[in-house]
């Protein structure tokens, strides 16, 4: 068969197939409109899925940020409560050991009133500070133990200073009064601050 005859044969076959296919019902998957709809639907689903994942990520990030902020508040509240009582104890210690003997009576009275105010403030704040710290750190037993240790040490130090202060309001107490209790308290408070820092840094690193 010559090339011209082959070409004529192929055209004849194509014409026959075209005629036979005119009356044949088309399949649903061959519809161009349906194909377009399917493409749009897939695109919409992909867009929705991407939007959902993005919002979920944003939600997780928001929760993590709020958690970190709660930790910050708890750390500041606990630190301020303890720092105030440490300041009051230090001033009482200075008075009892005669290191403020150059102050007049009015000045000493002002200091005494302020230390009393700080002690009352500590008694009001210590419970809420404890609950706030434990909740903010999700009940972490290390934080709870460190807080209890610092709180109890500070209470013993305060009791010791108060006892000497009542007996030596005009000086005369030994210079090393409550030295053991003070040293133990400072170590316990520093341990608590270290645990606060470790917990806070760990939370920062876990943020999505």
Q: Which two tokens stand for residue 67?
A: 């958690």
CA distance 123 to 117: 10
Domains along the sequence of the chain with CATH: 60-206 (1.20.120)
Predicted pLDDT at 102 = 87
The stretches in the chain having pLDDT less than 50 are 13, 19-21, 28-29
Give me the long-range contacts of 54-62 (CB less than 8 A, separation at least 24). Answer: 57/208, 60/208, 61/207, 61/208
Q: In angstroms, rounded to a whole number, what is the distance separating the alpha carbons of residues 14 and 155?
A: 101
């Amino acid at each position: 068969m010559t090339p011209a005859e082959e070409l004529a044969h192929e055209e004849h076959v194509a014409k026959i197939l075209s005629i036979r296919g005119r009356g044949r019902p088309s399949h649903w998957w061959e519809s161009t409109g349906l194909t377009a709809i399917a493409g749009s639907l897939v695109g919409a689903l992909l867009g929705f899925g991407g939007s959902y994942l993005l919002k979920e990520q944003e939600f997780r990030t928001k929760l993590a940020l709020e958690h970190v902020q709660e930790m910050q508040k708890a750390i500041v509240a606990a630190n301020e409560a303890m720092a105030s009582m440490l300041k009051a104890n230090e001033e009482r210690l200075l008075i009892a050991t005669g290191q403020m003997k150059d102050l007049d009576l009015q000045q000493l009275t002002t200091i005494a009133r302020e230390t009393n105010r700080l002690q009352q403030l500590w008694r009001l704040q210590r419970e809420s500070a404890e609950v706030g710290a434990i909740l903010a750190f999700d009940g972490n037993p290390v934080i709870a133990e460190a807080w209890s240790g610092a709180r109890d040490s500070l209470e013993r130090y305060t009791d010791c200073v108060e006892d000497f202060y009542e007996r030596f309001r005009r000086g005369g107490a030994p210079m090393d009064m409550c030295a053991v209790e003070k040293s133990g308290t400072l170590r316990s408070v520093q341990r608590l601050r270290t645990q606060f820092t470790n917990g806070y840094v760990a939370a920062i690193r876990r943020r999505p």
